[in-house]
Copies of this chain bind each other. A is one copy, B any other.
Amino acid sequence: MAVGNVPFPEMLPLNGVRLGTAMAGIKKPGRRDLVVIELPESATVSGVFTRNAFCAAPVAVAKQHLEHCRAQGRSPRFWLINTGNANAGTGETGMRDAHASCAALAEQVGVSAQDVLPFSTGVIGEPLPMDRLLAGLAPALESLSSDGVSWQHAGQGILTTDTRAKGATATLEVHGQQVTINGITKGSGMIKPNMATMLGFVVTDAAIETPLLDRLLRETVDHSFNCITVDSDTSTNDACMLAATGTGPSIVDEGDVSAFRDALQVVMTELAQAIIRDAEGSTKFVTLHVDGANSRQEALDVAFTVAHSPLVKTALYASDANWGRILAAVGRAPVSDFDVNRVVIDLGDVRLVENGGRAASYTEAAGSAVMAQPEIAIRINLGRGDESATVWTSDLSHDYVSINADYRS
């Protein structure tokens, strides 16, 4: 299931950026499962990666290669992505396979192995089927294209349990020239990114120095991918990459940085929300807004406690205005000394809780009418400060259980 109809957007080509895909049969035949993204020499590249201690071999190698290129004063030229196998929990063999994949691609295109960053997604703990992956490189390279539609094909080529390709695009004007930002992402389960998500690839044709690129990626991810959760499970393979090709105008002045960051935030947030709209088994898209907190972290703690509650998630699935479960989840959030009498909880435009209990104005009919919608906003005011946070999540359905009990992801 998935919430709403979210078509893949039309994307403009980016100068010097080409995308290619192949059906390598890594897990199943007849589907795109290998993606190559080529960046121009002028590009700058930034990445954030999972904080899972059991991070996958490709994550370790991508970090190494990115660091190596930076030390040499250049940027990586290729992102190599496979679905169907995460190459995680694979020990030494996994590291060898990730390195060998990069080396094989590098040889075919005439760059060094460190110019290739590898990414994998799929089942954890199985060895990467290297013969099929390596055989897929040539057809993927042959299909390299800068057409807008190549972004959609790449979006398809990175999916696992996702039901649809996810992309977002934005344009802005800098010094009279158009700047474009294109991004794709995948993810549907094992989603509670910590510093990144599994997987996001965003490219702009602006020119942005590496330190600024790093900062923009970190800031926009913190308010997008790091604010979503399907099931609280942080993946071993999360990565979100941002490249600026350097072929367009330079983003340097404060005003340009601010305008660019706003556009980038729109793309990042759309991509992150696209993951939640396509969460495994989801029937609801839920926005949790917490304000009146003493700190952003406190607001996030409350929002994630509610977002992870199986009882809140099953009530959302049932369209049951069982607000007692929201109250119970807020009450167990890791916030010290909070005064429940100051907490106000709204479901859409219906007040649920005030003065420590059910709002006097609340009616079951009004609550049920909001819960019946596919898109639901829950607003929690803690009444103790000025900080806030917004988190997006999905419900917990029979299909979530079926997908994860029947499918080895």
A70 to chain B, nearest CB (A): 24
| Contacts A91-B356, A405-B315, A405-B320 given; does A236 touch B331 at CB 8 Å | yes
Interface residues of A in 351-376 (CB under 8 A from B): 353, 355-358
**Among A50-58, A71-79, A147-155, the stretch in contact with B:** A50-58
Q: Which residues of B contact A86 (CB under 8 A)?
A: 324
CA distance A323 to B54 in the complex (A): 13
CA distance A327 to B190 in the complex (A): 13
Contact indicator A327/B401 (Cβ below 8 Å): no
Q: Which residues of B contact A91 (CB under 8 A)?
A: 355-358
Q: Mark A374-405, 1 if CB is under 8 A from B, else 0.
A: 00000000000000000000001110111011
Contact indicator A402/B398 (Cβ below 8 Å): yes
* CB closest chain-B residue, reference A325: B124
Q: Which of A89, A189, A315, A322 has the most CB of B within 10 A?
A: A89
Q: Which residues of B contact A53 (CB under 8 A)?
A: 330-333, 335, 338, 340
**Among A36-44, A178-186, A227-235, A263-271, the stretch in contact with B:** A227-235
Contact indicator B404/A401 (Cβ below 8 Å): no
Contact indicator B310/A400 (Cβ below 8 Å): yes
Interface residues of A in 280-329 (CB under 8 A from B): 308-311, 314-315, 317-318, 320, 322-325, 327-329
Q: Mark A75-97, 1 if CB is under 8 A from B, else 0.
A: 00000000000101111111000
* CB closest chain-B residue, reference A88: B324
Contact indicator A310/B232 (Cβ below 8 Å): yes
Q: Does A140 contact B (CB under 8 A)?
A: no
CA distance A274 to B402 in the complex (A): 27
Contact indicator A310/B54 (Cβ below 8 Å): no
A184 to chain B, nearest CB (A): 23
Interface residue from B231, B311, B358 paired with A404 (Cβ < 8 Å): B311
CA distance A353 to B408 in the complex (A): 18
How many residues of A sit at the interface, in one of the four size bands? Answer: 35 or more
Tell me how many chains of this kind the complex includes: 2
* CB closest chain-B residue, reference A281: B401
* CB closest chain-B residue, reference A94: B357
Q: Does A253 contact B (CB under 8 A)?
A: no
| Contacts A317-B401, A398-B402 given; does A89 touch B324 at CB 8 Å | yes
Q: Does A156 contact B (CB under 8 A)?
A: no
Contact indicator B123/A324 (Cβ below 8 Å): yes
Contact indicator A358/B89 (Cβ below 8 Å): yes
* CB closest chain-B residue, reference A234: B332
| Contacts A88-B324, A235-B328, A236-B328 given; does A125 touch B314 at CB 8 Å | no
Q: Which residues of B contact A51 (CB under 8 A)?
A: 332
Q: Which residues of B contact A120 (CB under 8 A)?
A: none
Contact indicator A327/B54 (Cβ below 8 Å): yes
| Contacts A51-B332, A233-B310, A355-B91 given; does A125 touch B323 at CB 8 Å | yes
Interface residues of A in 164-199 (CB under 8 A from B): 189-190, 192, 194
Q: Which residues of B contact A54 (CB under 8 A)?
A: 327-328, 330-331, 340, 356
Q: Does A406 contact B (CB under 8 A)?
A: yes
Q: Which residues of B contact A55 (CB under 8 A)?
A: 331
CA distance A2 to B189 in the complex (A): 27
A128 to chain B, nearest CB (A): 12
Contact indicator A405/B318 (Cβ below 8 Å): yes
CA distance A333 to B314 in the complex (A): 25
* CB closest chain-B residue, reference A310: B231
A126 to chain B, nearest CB (A): 8
CA distance A203 to B84 in the complex (A): 56
Contact indicator A331/B52 (Cβ below 8 Å): yes
4 closest A-B pairs by beta carbon, nearest first, are: A124-B324, A91-B357, A54-B331, A318-B405
